[in-house]
Amino acid sequence: MTTVESENPLRVGLRRDRGAEPCTLVIFGASGDLTERKLVPALYNLQLDRLLPSGFAVVGVARREMSDDAFITAMREGTREHSRREMSDENWSEIAGGLSYVATGNNPDDYGNLARHLDDIDRRRGTGGNRLFYLATPPSAFATIVTRLEHAGLHRPGPGGGWARIVLEKPIGHDLSSARELNHTVNQVFAESDVYRIDHYLGKETVQNLLVFRFANAIFEPLWNHKYVDHVQLTVAESIGIEGRGRYYEEAGTTRDMVQNHMFQLLCLTAMEPPVSLAADAIRDEKVKVLQALRPVVADAVGASTVRAQYAAGVIGGEKVPGYLDEPDVARDSRTETYVALSTYVDNWRWAGVPFYLRAGKRMPKRVTEIALRFRDVPHHLFDHASRPNTLALRIQPDEGITLKFDSKAPGPKPRLQPVSMEFRYGTSFGQQPPEAYERLILDAILGDSTLFIRRDEVEASWSHIDALMNVWAAGDGALPRYVSGTWGPDESDAMLRRDGRLWRRL
Amino acid sequence: MTTVESENPLRVGLRRDRGAEPCTLVIFGASGDLTERKLVPALYNLQLDRLLPSGFAVVGVARREMSDDAFITAMREGTREHSRREMSDENWSEIAGGLSYVATGNNPDDYGNLARHLDDIDRRRGTGGNRLFYLATPPSAFATIVTRLEHAGLHRPGPGGGWARIVLEKPIGHDLSSARELNHTVNQVFAESDVYRIDHYLGKETVQNLLVFRFANAIFEPLWNHKYVDHVQLTVAESIGIEGRGRYYEEAGTTRDMVQNHMFQLLCLTAMEPPVSLAADAIRDEKVKVLQALRPVVADAVGASTVRAQYAAGVIGGEKVPGYLDEPDVARDSRTETYVALSTYVDNWRWAGVPFYLRAGKRMPKRVTEIALRFRDVPHHLFDHASRPNTLALRIQPDEGITLKFDSKAPGPKPRLQPVSMEFRYGTSFGQQPPEAYERLILDAILGDSTLFIRRDEVEASWSHIDALMNVWAAGDGALPRYVSGTWGPDESDAMLRRDGRLWRRL
């Protein structure tokens, strides 16, 4: 069933360079935003690059009744609007020929219809019983869908063989117990190796490049430890607010929305040991070890090592924006955080004593995701008493790239040092913007490469840490500082680093 | 007599940030090219930056009879043509007011006239008996000038106090014994601390920046040793030929002209240990240790570890150029090398087993001076079997800057790695071209900072190594391969590196 048998075992995972097998992609939640804005445009761009299998079909599934034509039209318009490259009707028709739609209500027979439809596609388009079920619905529907797939026998290869895989969009659970419950339900039906949990950050080119940067080059890894690194800063700043998603955000908050998944993934990739190989499990084994090494939450320490806050009204890019409490569907006395900053440690040999500072927030002055390593000072000051240590910043978005800040001699006879930067810009270096994360992730799921997906133990280790934090927060006085929209968060966050003698980077 | 007594002892050497004391600069060889093309334009630019002392005078000395006015006019025209910044008459007049000329023949009394002239300047311009004697003559005149300065009492502070320093242009000797003899003569008259031996490479901003780069930053030094560096390549390539200086070049050759001084200085700055401080002697102590650690020349090994060659006719930049043997003032059967490549080792703890490859040549495809560290391969290949190790290149000229080559993920779903570069460009980063080397060096000599000048033991250690090489060459069969002008030297040079499993960088 695997397609890599004839390959060198090293040539798996990130090194995969194979053709995709024919298959059908079944998108649950096909009438939702994600399908129209991300998934189908991603398919269009994969088709443009001739990366989709020769036999390929897409079945949209949702509650609403809709004709194939109506679905195809909606997807065409979505692609026209959201594709990263311009859409041509000619190229679109290659995708459109394989699109169809199936409505499913509460009637369990609906999945029988879906099964027959898929068998029919296998016959007509030669998709060989290979099915990729993509759950782009609200997570509350996950368990039901999985159970019904099982009842309809769709969790197993079709009569003519093939494979069945399932892709789960985030969030995976709301806390540790709900995540465990969902994982349990899913794993009763699908083997863990057939489960693809999406964290779209892992599909970003620069996130993948972090592994290349660290492990394909000999000169960074020797510096990548407590001997040379003073501390690490991870920032996920958004300038947008909650964009009308008050109902979702009230349930989630920034900690669940950003930290538990994206930021912990960035932390793992930054801190992990070199894996034995690039096989999916070799990498995920190392990532989960980072989460296991996170310094356990101790109630007394949480106050000094975490900051939560909520945005107040302010100005961003010259425009007035409302405070969180004035957003639609937000409780007037909401204590949901829109900003969180954490100071934590990876208690292992490599990172002993090196703080990892994480911050994520909405309504920041700008959108920027980056990982920055601040190096220790020189051991002996020859030139100056002022300390201007080196910094290596990996910008995930926007303007993906790498910047190394170091001291240089300013020109002229005066003995002035001046910080300068070596720069590498992903876009300009390769003459094109990198592909969208979803292109990579959908293709990998089709290829059966789960390297860039989250394994069950990762999700649960991450929730375990977040749960412990949230329990302490819940037991506290609930004080929640405000910060003016368009600023870098509350004073409390600056104070947290100041107590360690450090500063947040100005971005 | 020193001006640094009140300063923190750390604030010496490269960190010097003081005003210059009034003084008179006496240029011997004032009718020569160097004075008109480099020295006076450098003074003009120092004046423009207000770096010259308030009381300042320049006395040109040469054999030829000339009026002050004629000298001033010649210097003005030279400055107009060669100054790195445009000359204005107003700024020129500030220099011109302190210019005068004294002719000296073979009459020892001429130096008495010079002495009286200098005393007079001290009275008129408040230069306080401080004299800087700059020997820009052919080196054959050095000993005579020094001796006559002594006879005229000019090697000692004037009656009213002050200091007397001497600047020697290269070359310092033609081999070890002539260098020793000259140094002996000079040191009988001037204390070593008052002797400033010029290697104008040390005045280049990017050469000085090498010290800053290595020792003001914490992240390069840990990599700067045999554990991480595979080998080092130093290149000094010129596209010009001998430019009508056949008589000089026949005596010198590339080894004396480039390797013994400039390249060995670059080697020292690249390989040296961190100095205790930036004091001139602290740095020079470390540099001389590198020369002392150079693997001794063993006759049997010279054939395999050195290549000399001579340029034949060829084409550079679309223009036909003659071979060395057809240049004016070159013997038709000359065996003078215009290209030399060496493979050597710095036999100390840091550099054990790391080859240093040096190459210098005329009539190369372009002008480029650079130091490149090629790092070892990654210890474990995760991504690829092809080896593309990291390289750090410090470009001395032109386009001064630093480039770090590393592997990145090429965008897209295919698992391709691609070498990319992080770049720092000195000119663009600071919005101006760096000052000329001579500006820095003249100012330092005025300030009494000898950090960027060559100490006697450096010169002699360098000659000692070169002498040993030349003795082996002289005893050999004198075979001298040719290389076509406009190419990167003879095949023998590539073969030398190939035997070590390495390649010269393509520049």
**Looking at the annotation, which residues of B are catalytic?**
262
Q: Is the pLDDT of residue B12 over 50?
A: no
Q: B278 in contact with A at a CB cutoff of 8 Å?
A: yes
Q: Is the pLDDT of residue A201 over 50?
A: yes
Domain assignment of residue A40, yes or no = yes
Residue B293 is which amino acid? A
How far is Cα of residue B488 from the mean position of the Cα atoms in its chain? Answer: 22
Interface contact B218-A379, CB threshold 8 A: yes
Whole-number Å distance between alpha carbons of B127 and A188: 94
Interface contact B375-A205, CB threshold 8 A: no
Question: Could you tell me what percent of chain A has a pLDDT over 90?
Answer: 80
Per-residue pLDDT band for A478 (boundaries 50, 70, 90) equals confident
Whole-number Å distance between alpha carbons of A18 and A4: 8
Residue (of A100, A195, A109, A193) closest to A146 by Cα position: A195
Q: In the prediction, which pLDDT does B3 show?
A: 33
Domain assignment of residue B504, yes or no = no
Residue of chain A minimizing CA distance to B382:
A277
Residue ranges of B 412-451 with Cβ closer than 8 A to chain A: 412-415, 417-418, 420-424, 426, 429-430, 432-435, 439-440, 443-444
- B283 chain-A contacts, CB cut-off 8 A: none
Please tell me the pTM assigned to this model.
Answer: 0.91
Give Cα separations from B295 to A40, B229, B466 (angstroms).
Answer: 66, 18, 12
Question: Which one of A16, A226, A382, A388 makes the best mutation probe of the B interface by having the most chain B beta carbons within 10 Å?
Answer: A382
Q: In the prediction, which pLDDT does A15 show?
A: 41
Q: Is the pLDDT of residue B52 over 80?
A: yes
Of A169, A194, A216, which one is at a domain's C-terminal end?
Answer: A169
Whole-number Å distance between alpha carbons of B408 and A253: 35
Do A209 and A302 fall into the same domain? yes
B198 CB-side CA count, 13 A: 27
Q: Is the pLDDT of residue B414 over 80?
A: no
Interface contact B205-A409, CB threshold 8 A: yes
Of B115, B146, B169, which one is at a domain's C-terminal end?
Answer: B169
Tokens 């450098």 belong to: B42
A291 CB-side CA count, 13 A: 26
Q: A260 in contact with B at a CB cutoff of 8 Å?
A: no
DSSP state of A153: T
Per-residue pLDDT band for A400 (boundaries 50, 70, 90) equals confident
Q: A382 in contact with B at a CB cutoff of 8 Å?
A: yes
A361-390 average pLDDT score: 90
Whole-number Å distance between alpha carbons of B317 and B322: 14
Give Cα separations from B150 to B32, B109, B370 (angstroms).
Answer: 24, 12, 41
Domain assignment of residue B426, yes or no = yes
- B226 chain-A contacts, CB cut-off 8 A: none
- A273 chain-B contacts, CB cut-off 8 A: none
Q: B332 in contact with A at a CB cutoff of 8 Å?
A: no
- A278 chain-B contacts, CB cut-off 8 A: 382-383
Query: What are A343's strand-pairing partners?
Result: A357
- A275 chain-B contacts, CB cut-off 8 A: 382
pLDDT tens digits, residue range A452-477?
Answer: 999 999 999 999 999 999 999 999 88
Q: A282 in contact with B at a CB cutoff of 8 Å?
A: no
Q: Are strands B339-345 and B306-312 parallel, antiparallel or unpaired?
A: antiparallel
Residue ranges of B 185-204 with Cβ closer than 8 A to chain A: none
Structural domain boundaries, residue B115: 4-169
CB contact at 8 A, A393 and A402? yes
Residue (of B468, B478, B504) closest to B310 by Cα position: B478
Q: B386 in contact with A at a CB cutoff of 8 Å?
A: no
CB contact at 8 A, B103 and B62? yes
Residue ranges of A 222-241 with Cβ closer than 8 A to chain B: 222-223, 227-228
pLDDT tens digits, residue range B443-469?
Answer: 999 999 999 999 999 999 999 999 999
Q: In the prediction, which pLDDT does B8 show?
A: 32
Q: A9 in contact with B at a CB cutoff of 8 Å?
A: no
How far is Cα of residue B18 from the mean position of the Cα atoms in its chain? Answer: 24
Q: In the prediction, which pLDDT does B417 show?
A: 86
Q: B370 in contact with A at a CB cutoff of 8 Å?
A: no
Do B15 and B138 fall into the same domain? yes
- A221 chain-B contacts, CB cut-off 8 A: 378
pLDDT tens digits, residue range B364-379?
Answer: 999 999 999 999 999 9
Task: Name the residue facing B422 among A377, A422, A440 (closest C-beta).
Answer: A422
Do B248 and B391 fall into the same domain? yes
Interface contact B412-A49, CB threshold 8 A: yes
Q: In the prediction, which pLDDT does B130 show?
A: 95
Which CATH number fits the domain that encloses residue B134?
3.40.50.720
Interface contact B412-A375, CB threshold 8 A: no
Q: In the prediction, which pLDDT does B2 show?
A: 33
CB contact at 8 A, A467 and A175? yes
Residue ranges of A 53-112 with Cβ closer than 8 A to chain B: none
Whole-number Å distance between alpha carbons of B302 and A98: 72
- B430 chain-A contacts, CB cut-off 8 A: 410-411, 418
CB contact at 8 A, B426 and B209? yes
Give Cα separations from A95 to A25, A49, A132 (angstroms).
Answer: 12, 12, 16
Task: Please give the torsion angle defined by the CA atoms of residues A427, A432, A436 and A437, in that order, rounded to the nearest 10 degrees.
Answer: -50
Residue (of B42, B41, B37, B40) closest to B27 by Cα position: B40
CB contact at 8 A, A289 and A339? no
Task: Name the residue facing A423 among B228, B408, B423 (closest C-beta).
Answer: B423
Do B160 and B212 fall into the same domain? no
Q: In the prediction, which pLDDT does B14 show?
A: 47
Task: Name the residue facing B218 among A389, A415, A444 (closest C-beta).
Answer: A389
Interface contact A424-B422, CB threshold 8 A: yes
Mean pLDDT of chain B: 91
pLDDT tens digits, residue range A62-120?
Answer: 999 999 999 999 999 999 999 999 999 999 999 999 999 999 987 878 899 999 999 99
Do B224 and B145 fall into the same domain? no
Ranges A341-355, A398-412, B178-192, B328-342: which has the least confidence: A398-412
Per-residue pLDDT band for B385 (boundaries 50, 70, 90) equals low
**Which residue stretches of B238-363 are H helix?**
246-254, 264-271, 280-293, 299-305
Do A215 and A121 fall into the same domain? no
Rg over alpha carbons for chain A, rounded to the nearest Å, is: 24
Q: In the prediction, which pLDDT does A208 show?
A: 87
Q: In the prediction, which pLDDT does B322 show?
A: 97
Domain count, chain B: 2
Q: A478 in contact with B at a CB cutoff of 8 Å?
A: no
Query: What are B101's strand-pairing partners?
Result: B60
Q: In the prediction, which pLDDT does B9 show?
A: 32
Do A288 and A401 fall into the same domain? yes
Give Cα separations from A182 to A141, A146, B157 (angstroms).
Answer: 10, 10, 91
Interface contact A422-B426, CB threshold 8 A: no
- B221 chain-A contacts, CB cut-off 8 A: 378
Residue B501 is which amino acid? G
Structure tokens belonging to residue B257: 């002209």
Q: In the prediction, which pLDDT does A387 show?
A: 60
Whole-number Å distance between alpha carbons of A373 and A394: 9
- B380 chain-A contacts, CB cut-off 8 A: 274
Interface contact A216-B274, CB threshold 8 A: no
Whole-number Å distance between alpha carbons of A474 and A480: 12
Q: In the prediction, which pLDDT does B4 show?
A: 31
- B376 chain-A contacts, CB cut-off 8 A: 218
DSSP state of B104: -
Please tell me whether residue A116 adopts helix, strand or coil conformation.
helix
pLDDT tens digits, residue range A310-368?
Answer: 999 999 989 999 999 999 999 999 999 999 999 999 999 999 999 999 999 999 999 99
Per-residue pLDDT band for B107 (boundaries 50, 70, 90) equals confident
Rounded to a whole number of angstroms, the distance from the CA of A385 to the nearest CA of chain B is 10
Go through chain B and tell me how many residues it has. 507
Rg over alpha carbons for chain B, rounded to the nearest Å, is: 24
Whole-number Å distance between alpha carbons of A121 and A128: 9
Task: Name the residue facing A212 among B383, B404, B440 (closest C-beta).
Answer: B383
Q: B248 in contact with A at a CB cutoff of 8 Å?
A: no
Q: A148 in contact with B at a CB cutoff of 8 Å?
A: no
Task: Name the residue facing A417 among B216, B380, B412 (closest C-beta).
Answer: B216
Positive/negative CA dihedral, A142, A146, A151, A157? positive
Instruction: Between A375 and A8, name the one with better pLDDT.
Output: A375
Mean pLDDT of chain A: 91
Q: B17 in contact with A at a CB cutoff of 8 Å?
A: yes
pLDDT tens digits, residue range B292-313?
Answer: 999 999 999 999 999 999 999 9
Q: In the prediction, which pLDDT does B376 show?
A: 96
pLDDT tens digits, residue range A35-78?
Answer: 999 999 999 999 999 999 989 999 999 999 999 999 999 999 99
Per-residue pLDDT band for A3 (boundaries 50, 70, 90) equals very low
Structure tokens belonging to residue B504: 């010269």
Structure tokens belonging to residue B208: 């000085």
Ranges A17-21, A256-260, A403-407, B440-444: which has the least confidence: A17-21
Domain assignment of residue B391, yes or no = yes
Domain assignment of residue B190, yes or no = no
Give Cα separations from A58 to A86, A97, A147, A439 (angstroms).
Answer: 21, 9, 21, 15
Do A210 and A163 fall into the same domain? no
DSSP state of B332: T
Contacts of B496 (CB under 8 A, 6+ apart): B304, B305, B306, B307, B341, B343
Whole-number Å distance between alpha carbons of B198 and B471: 26
Instruction: Between A394 and B479, name the one with better pLDDT.
Output: A394
The H or E element containing residue B71 is helix B68-82
Whole-number Å distance between alpha carbons of A116 and A97: 19
Q: In the prediction, which pLDDT does B310 show?
A: 98
- Residue A311: how many other CB atoms lie within 10 Å: 29
Tokens 């080559």 belong to: B405
Residue of chain A minimizing CA distance to B203:
A413
Q: In the prediction, which pLDDT does B17 show?
A: 53
Q: In the prediction, which pLDDT does B11 show?
A: 33
Q: Are strands A355-361 and A229-237 parallel, antiparallel or unpaired?
A: parallel
Task: Say how many CB pairs under 8 Å bridge A and B.
Answer: 190
Do A161 and A38 fall into the same domain? yes
Interface contact A219-B409, CB threshold 8 A: no
Question: Could you tell me what percent of chain B has a pLDDT over 70?
Answer: 94
Rounded to a whole number of angstroms, the distance from the CA of A180 to the nearest CA of chain B is 32
Domain assignment of residue B198, yes or no = no
Of A169, A187, A222, which one is at a domain's C-terminal end?
Answer: A169
CB contact at 8 A, A422 and A403? yes
Do B281 and B154 fall into the same domain? no
**Which residue stretches of B359-479 are H helix?**
426-430, 437-447, 456-475
Per-residue pLDDT band for A14 (boundaries 50, 70, 90) equals very low
Do B162 and B239 fall into the same domain? no
Do B75 and B164 fall into the same domain? yes
pLDDT tens digits, residue range A131-171?
Answer: 999 999 998 999 999 999 999 999 987 667 899 999 999 88
Whole-number Å distance between alpha carbons of B254 and B335: 12
B168-185 average pLDDT score: 95
Q: In the prediction, which pLDDT does B13 show?
A: 43
Domain assignment of residue B40, yes or no = yes
Which CATH number fits the domain that encloses residue B271?
3.30.360.10
Domain assignment of residue B177, yes or no = no
- A396 chain-B contacts, CB cut-off 8 A: none
Q: SS3 breakdown of chain B: % helix, strand, coil, rounded to 5? A: 40, 20, 40
pLDDT tens digits, residue range A272-289?
Answer: 999 999 999 999 999 999
**Looking at the annotation, which residues of A are catalytic?**
262
Ranges A155-169, A225-239, A406-420: which has the least confidence: A406-420
Q: In the prediction, which pLDDT does A18 show?
A: 61
CB contact at 8 A, A203 and A481? no
Ranges A2-11, A441-450, B21-30, B104-113: which has the least confidence: A2-11
CB contact at 8 A, B256 and B264? no
Whole-number Å distance between alpha carbons of B174 and A341: 67
B203-216 average pLDDT score: 90
Q: In the prediction, which pLDDT does A17 show?
A: 53
